[in-house]
Amino acid sequence: MLKEKSEVGQIIQNICKLVQTQFNTQIQVFRTDNGTEFFNKTVGNFFIENGIVHQSSCVNSPQQNGIAERKNRHLLEVARALLFSTNVPKYLWGEAILTAAHLINRMRSRVLKFQTPLHSFLKYFPITSVLSDLPLKIFGCTTFVHEHKHLGKLEPRAIKCVFIGYSSSQKGYKCFDPNTKKIFVTMDVTFFENKSFFGNDHLRGGKQMKILLNCLKT
């Protein structure tokens, strides 16, 4: 996840290498806005060395980059709904964005003739190992991660955490312990999807979210 704008150059290089390795194709045009992080020697030299054309929108003309702007707004709206409906604090906004992208890719789209982006993607790349097929869970719900370390007979066997999404590098759920600031990636976890981790009340909008997840599964 991007922490500082100075990391943009390395992230761009990583994305281009990922596309080339996993999907056997080469990025030909890279389109951005006029952010200064996209215009530096590192990024410029990388584009030149790899024959990539760098296009940018004009100053104060976000409409020229309309597709990206609309998708950014879509991601933010879904992430905001996830945070609000489950009382998750804003410092976990990055995980909410990643979860929003995970869910959007599994939602039917009218633009895609009511297919999901994931389904359309698999038509072109039927054999890929970069996608997760884990059952969907409610973001922000209470979880108990099973502890496998050797503990005393009277020590707890599970750690209370909050569910924050799906791992992109392992087949497991991401659970966060606010006390230790540790993220667990595991399949050995018990979910309480009707109970928000942050707050004593039941999940606000939890019923609606459960209906949405059920729709995504069909």
| Rounded Cα gap, residues 27 and 51, in angstroms | 9
Strands 53-56 and 29-32: parallel
- pTM here is 0.81
Give the residue among 166, 197, 182, 168 at the shortest CA–CA distance from 89.
197
pLDDT, tens digit (0-9, with 9 covering 90-100), for 126-174: 877 667 778 999 999 999 999 876 565 656 678 999 999 999 888 899 9
Within a 10 A sphere around the Cβ of 187, how many other Cβ atoms?
10
- Residue 5 main-chain phi, psi, to 5 deg: -65, -25
Is residue 60 within 8 Å of 178, Cβ to Cβ?
no
Which residues, in sequence order, are CB contacts of 90 under 8 Å at separation 6+?
A: 83
> Is the pLDDT at 111 greater than 90, yes or no?
no
> Is the pLDDT at 215 greater than 80, yes or no?
no
pLDDT, tens digit (0-9, with 9 covering 90-100), for 10-39: 999 999 999 998 888 899 999 988 888 898
